[in-house]
Amino acid sequence: MINDAPIRLHLPAQDLEQLSVFSSREDSAREWAAQLPVANPEVVAEQLSTTLDEISRCAMAPELRFNILDALQNNLHIACTSLSRRFLNQPLVMPEEPRRVAALIDTLYARSITAYSCTAIEALQQRDRIRGVNPARLVCEALLRALDFCSRKLLLGFQLHKPVEPNGWLTLHQLYALGERQELAKITLPGIGKAETSIRRSYLVAMLTGCCKPNQLRQADLAAVHQALAEWADLVDIGTDDGLFLVDLDRDQPPLYATLFRDSAPATARKVDTARLVAHMKNMLVANKGNSRSFVPLDDGSRLAPGLLSHMIDALGTVSVRNFVRKPAEGPLAVSIGLSAAHYHAAGDLNFAEAVYGSDHLMKTPEQASVNPFKEKSASDIWSQANPEEDFQRPSSNSEAEAYLDHQVQLDARSSAAILSGEDNPLLERAYAVYQPQMVNASPGGYCLDWQGDLPAELKVGDLVSAQEGQHDQWVLAVIRWISQLENSRTLMGIELLSPKVKAFGAITRQKTGEESEPQRALLLPEIKLVGQPPTLITPRAGFRENQKITLQRPGEQLHLQLHRQLAATGSFSQFDFRYIRMLGDVIAEDKSGPLDASYDSVWSNI
């Protein structure tokens, strides 16, 4: 397994004799770090970036370099954590200032990787001159720090849906290869967060995060996946003769499926076996079966949703093969984003109230809407005897102006137009925005879209979209499966078709007290026999769960059903299969439709 291939790490020339901000001593570094303006993390980050670059370029003993870097770690962690809030869990389209902050953190990670890589290489080259610390331990700790920052840098790129920069994978692989060659990969030491880790574990966390289809996950989900892998990485085997993934430590590429690697594996190749990890996750999923609200708690306080756990099982347990061949496509594709927009288009461009209650719903007067047929007026209610029209009369007036105001309301043109268009009516909804990204390729299963310019602020992986290829074509339902942001304000986006036909309903749930909820948007996806897809229901992310009984309502149709299994869940919607429920009224109606004496012949004969 150990080979003689040279380690290819790009290190800067050490062309500085002295640091500019403090002298090359550990105590000077700690004094300088203590006076940094912690309340201004951006200034701290900029100063640390410059200092880290100088540390890599300044000639000094490897143990001194490591101690100086260690003195800056607390400030670096605080600055990066604080600045990350400015661009994480925000819209993908970031203004200039958050983009600059994200680039600054990326630079901090890159320069930390370089500085610790310099320390590890020099500790190997100068091991006979190192005093006060075991040279092998210094190499191991420096490699651990470098791999940790590699992992953070990759995670940041995944969260921003950006491709891994050139030499990003190669640096990760070569750091692990160096540790493996020195037989240090399995030694356990405290990491940056003081948790016990090893070179092997740190490498697997970063590599397997890239195997979990990160462009299909949201930022918070990626952080949870990264943390879960950090806790379960010891269940993964690397270097075995069998494994789902294969990685070449001497090439700048991510892990590949071993079955797709047709060439003979070189000496620098390693197979990664995830079977034990997948079995562990399946056991956790079975333990939570029937409880869609059960989350797997992680050591850092975050939680792993069952849907996210299923995603990890699929990504790390099976070879993902494309079901359909994609063909080049040209022209725009009309796209509307979100469950509300999908409901609007599925209902024939009707607002929610009309789609649920019918077009005459808006014609009801407030008096009609407030009538309660179960509440009778009491004859003793003195308030019901009041008749203000008889008790009070407006005094007559001969003023023409006052008489005119009695029957006319003066409105400006803008207010009049707003009332006529229904903008001020809360039951009416405006038409949803329709975007026109260009198609790159298409297949029966979905589209790849090229979105040039600014993305809508609400666009995220896992969002529902309505798509229409031609102006007169039917709207189809799809979901955003992946996003990849390129340079020059270009974004590639993959959408997967869920159903060519969709029915829009209002979903009503019942509390334990029997009280009914207000209707919520729901989309019924009919059965597709050709591909063996049963009918399913799309609901909002919150408020619906397995085994729940609900009523679907739209004009002229009411369906009673019970949700069964949650088939899919994203940050925007849930998808369930279900079964229909026969209500008592339906059973009675069916009994009345049969011969009246058929069921009672034996009864009458015994009387």
Confidence at 423, pLDDT banded by 50, 70, 90: very low
3 state DSSP class of 190:
strand
Q: Residue 447's pLDDT is what?
A: 93
Domains of the chain: 1-197 (no CATH), 226-320 (no CATH), 327-339+431-499 (2.40.10.220), 503-591 (2.40.10)
Is 50 exceeded by the pLDDT of residue 370? no
Confidence at 373, pLDDT banded by 50, 70, 90: very low
Let me know: does 476 contact 85? Beta carbons within 8 Å: no
Q: Residue 404's pLDDT is what?
A: 40
364: its two tokens: 């009801």
Q: Residue 298's pLDDT is what?
A: 85
Percent of the chain with pLDDT over 90: 52
- pLDDT (tens digit per residue) in 291-314: 545 788 888 888 888 889 999 999
- pLDDT (tens digit per residue) in 563-576: 988 888 888 899 99
DSSP E strands, 330-444: 334-337, 438-443
Q: Residue 589's pLDDT is what?
A: 56
361: its two tokens: 């719903």
Q: What is the DSSP letter of 60?
A: -
- Residue 359's contacts (CB-CB under 8 Å, 6 or more residues apart) are 350, 555
Greater pLDDT, 6 or 360:
6
Q: Residue 592's pLDDT is what?
A: 53
Confidence at 10, pLDDT banded by 50, 70, 90: confident
Greater pLDDT, 499 or 373:
499
Confidence at 250, pLDDT banded by 50, 70, 90: very high
- pLDDT (tens digit per residue) in 88-130: 877 766 778 888 999 999 999 999 999 999 999 999 999 888 8
C-alpha neighbours within 13 Å on the C-beta side of residue 329 = 20
Is 50 exceeded by the pLDDT of residue 256? yes
Greater pLDDT, 238 or 454:
238
Q: H-helix or E-strand containing 447?
A: strand 446-452
Greater pLDDT, 320 or 464:
464
The CA-to-CA distance between both ends of the chain, in Å, stands at 92
Confidence at 418, pLDDT banded by 50, 70, 90: very low
Is 90 exceeded by the pLDDT of residue 445? no
Is 70 exceeded by the pLDDT of residue 42? yes
Q: What is the mean pLDDT of residues 397-424?
A: 45
Cα 545 to Cα 534: distance, rounded to the nearest angstrom: 19
Q: Residue 395's pLDDT is what?
A: 47
3 state DSSP class of 62:
helix
Q: What is the 3-state secondary structure (H, E, C) of 535-555?
A: CEEEEECCCCCCCCEEEEEEC
What residue spans of 162-217 are helical by DSSP H?
Answer: 168-181, 199-211
Greater pLDDT, 157 or 321:
157
**Phi and psi angles of residue 238, each rounded to the nearest 5 degrees, phi first:** -125, 140
- pTM here? 0.77
Is 70 exceeded by the pLDDT of residue 196? yes
Nearest to 138 by CA among 69, 213, 53: 69
Cα 20 to Cα 531: distance, rounded to the nearest angstrom: 67
Is 80 exceeded by the pLDDT of residue 375? no
Q: What is the mean pLDDT of the chain?
A: 83
Q: What is the mean pLDDT of residues 584-607?
A: 49
Cα 582 to Cα 584: distance, rounded to the nearest angstrom: 7
Let me know: does 175 contact 147? Beta carbons within 8 Å: yes
CB atoms within 10 A of CB 299: 11
> Mind giving me the DSSP string for 163-175?
PPPTTHHHHHHHH
Q: What is the mean pLDDT of residues 250-270?
A: 86
Is 50 exceeded by the pLDDT of residue 601? no
77: its two tokens: 């962690």
Confidence at 228, pLDDT banded by 50, 70, 90: very high
Percent of the chain with pLDDT over 70: 81
CA–CA distances in Å: residue 4 to residues 1, 252, 255: 10, 18, 21
Cα 145 to Cα 477: distance, rounded to the nearest angstrom: 46
Cα 211 to Cα 28: distance, rounded to the nearest angstrom: 42
Confidence at 261, pLDDT banded by 50, 70, 90: confident
Q: Residue 378's pLDDT is what?
A: 45
- Residue 446's contacts (CB-CB under 8 Å, 6 or more residues apart) are 478, 481, 494, 495, 496, 497
Q: Residue 552's pLDDT is what?
A: 94
Q: What is the mean pLDDT of residues 386-410?
A: 46
Confidence at 155, pLDDT banded by 50, 70, 90: very high
- Residue 68's contacts (CB-CB under 8 Å, 6 or more residues apart) are 24, 25, 26, 29, 55, 60
Q: Residue 432's pLDDT is what?
A: 85
- Residue 120's contacts (CB-CB under 8 Å, 6 or more residues apart) are 62, 138, 139, 142, 143, 146, 175, 178
Q: Residue 582's pLDDT is what?
A: 73
**Phi and psi angles of residue 537, each rounded to the nearest 5 degrees, phi first:** -125, 130
Confidence at 381, pLDDT banded by 50, 70, 90: very low
Nearest to 539 by CA among 573, 511, 496, 562: 573
Cα 357 to Cα 346: distance, rounded to the nearest angstrom: 15
Nearest to 80 by CA among 140, 50, 38, 117: 38
Is 50 exceeded by the pLDDT of residue 549? yes
Q: What is the mean pLDDT of residues 143-154?
A: 96
CB atoms within 10 A of CB 546: 18
Nearest to 176 by CA among 259, 238, 88: 238
Q: Residue 295's pLDDT is what?
A: 81
3 state DSSP class of 198:
coil
Is 50 exceeded by the pLDDT of residue 368? no
Which residue type sits at 538? I
The position carrying tokens 């940050």 is 571
Q: What is the DSSP letter of 215?
A: G
Cα 306 to Cα 2: distance, rounded to the nearest angstrom: 39
Q: Residue 110's pLDDT is what?
A: 97
Pairing label, strands 536-540, 573-580: antiparallel
Greater pLDDT, 558 or 428:
558
Q: Residue 473's pLDDT is what?
A: 80
Q: Residue 387's pLDDT is what?
A: 52
Let me know: does 180 contact 1? Beta carbons within 8 Å: yes
